[in-house]
Amino acid sequence: MPPLEVRGDASLARMNEEELFANGTSAFASRDWTRAAACFERLAVAYPQAKNRVLALYNAGLARERLADWDQAREHFAAIADPLGTGDALDAAFHLAETLYHLGRYGSAVDILQRIATRDDLSLGRRLEALVQKGVCEVEDGRLDDGEKTLRQAVSLWSTAPDRDALDDYFPAQGQFFLGEIYRLHYAAVRLDPSAGADQLSKDLEYKAELLLSAQGHYLRAIKIGNAYWATASGTQIGGLYQDMYQQIAEAEAPRELDAEEAVIYKQEVRKRVRVLLTKAITVYESTLATAERLGSSGPFIDRAREGLEKMKQLLLADAAEEEPASEEQRPPASRRIPPARPRPPAGTPPAPPARAASGGSG
């Protein structure tokens, strides 16, 4: 908690609790997170009996989140959080778990979210949120089996809900996305080792392709749910899978049992056969970017899709350039010129929550 002494803005020392709360709320609305945090923190420290102290701590935590000051935000939320509570106390528990996630304290976050997820008195939406976030923390903690179990429970809870169309689509889409991430991690763990021999390489490649399709299946389910952020994120990851598969196969050495001449022929044939992965990646990236533009989405996944698209196009051009055209002597004479075809005509990361008002919590 900040010291009682005011540093940096002496004007805060002259404000009473109502003025501090009003100034903090105004600064938050103006996205001046630093001043908002200073006002709310000053109120909480200087006026420990203030009627708005809990709200001040909550809003100070939100402001610190916007500044990515996760440890300070954690302190504010921890002071008022209750996983078994309601209103601001419950919301603070969710935010406390998020700060612990960003601090890499996944186990502590899981403990909080588990207590929330098992509450029968909460709405389905809140329990779903807790389950998905718990699963994400388990995945990030390397507990992939636990994470998969939790995330499958969450998406099943959503898919069987009679009023699922009325629920926020963010969390079921996030759940499907992270199920895709689990299989992407399994896919990444399979190494293609030509030195193991052609038979083992073939088995590993087949298994790796199965994992790619499993990951893609969950990403496609996330896209189908329709949340703009997770749809574009999923499209980017699908493109990335095809990109990675192409590069691993195309750049791999030939099996060791082949001699030099056979190895050259092998690599030429492999590049021809896996070129379809390049075109698939380009198609997925282009579709993802078009969807993002239509929905007005932005963020790191969109930047990665643009970068991936450009790289795939360059690889496709380079791959085509490596194929030497047949010489004039090798080309059969044309019996007649074929006229060109007649051209055809063309065919027809959630806004930031506002600072809480002095009237109360979320219920």
Q: What is the pLDDT of residues 173-185, one digit of tens each?
A: 999 999 999 999 9
pLDDT at residue 110 in the model: 98
- In the prediction, which pLDDT does 333 show? 43
- 142 phi/psi in degrees, rounded to 5: 85, 5
Asked if 59 and 91 count as a contact pair (C-beta separation under 8 A), the reply is no
Q: Which two tokens stand for residue 358?
A: 């002095």
pLDDT of residue 322: 66
Predicted local confidence at residue 115, as pLDDT: 98
pLDDT tier at 205, thresholds 50, 70, 90: confident
Buried b / exposed e over 165-186, threshold 16 CB at 10 Å, is eebebbbbbbbbbbbbbbbbeb
Buried b (16+ CB within 10 A) or exposed e, 258-292: beeeebeebbeeebeebbebbebbbebbbebbebb
Name the band, by pLDDT with cuts 50, 70 and 90, for residue 356. low
The whole-number pLDDT of residue 337 equals: 39
What's phi and psi for 7, nearest 5 deg?
-120, 135
Token representation of residue 212: 């790619």
Instruction: State both tokens at 103.
Output: 């601090």
Contacts of residues 49-54 at CB distance under 8 Å and 24 or more positions apart, as own/partner, are 50/17, 51/358, 52/17, 52/21, 52/358, 54/80, 54/88
The pLDDT assigned to 113 comes to 98
Q: How far apart are CA 220 and CA 234, in angstroms?
A: 7
Q: Which of 156, 90, 80 is nearest to 123 (CA)?
A: 90
**pLDDT computed for residue 38 by the predictor:** 96
Q: Of the segments 110-124, 257-271, 297-311, 322-336, which one has the largest average pLDDT value?
A: 110-124
Mean pLDDT of the chain: 85
CA pair distance 6, 198, nearest whole angstrom: 71
For residue range 37-71, what is the model confidence (pLDDT) as tens digits? Answer: 999 999 999 999 999 999 999 999 999 999 999 99
Q: What is the SS3 assignment for 223?
A: helix
Q: What is the reported pLDDT for 249?
A: 82
pLDDT band of 323, cuts 50, 70, 90: low
Which residues have CB under 8 Å from 319's CB, separation 6+?
250, 271, 275, 278
